[in-house]
Amino acid sequence: MSTKIGVNDYTLAIITTDKEMKISGGCPIFYAKDEAELQNKAMLISKCVAGMVHDMTNGTLIIVKH
């Protein structure tokens, strides 16, 4: 039995250039104006939450805690 308590295997954030993307509930969405801002926001947020960035294509990245 594991005594490890914490956030494991969850999507923590979505970063996208698609201003039309809307999700009800779940994780927060961060909007970027271009590819450079998309990459910068993803890097900064992933460092803060110790998550991994995954490219979902079409200007969307997700940050996942493994």
pLDDT digits (tens, 9 = 90+) for 3-47: 665 656 788 999 999 999 987 778 899 999 999 999 999 999 999
pLDDT for the residue numbered 10: 87
Rg of the chain in Å (alpha carbons)? 13
pLDDT for the residue numbered 22: 87
Distance CA 14, CA 2 (A): 29
DSSP letter, residue 34: S
Min mean pLDDT across 24-28, 37-41, 48-52, 60-64 is at 24-28
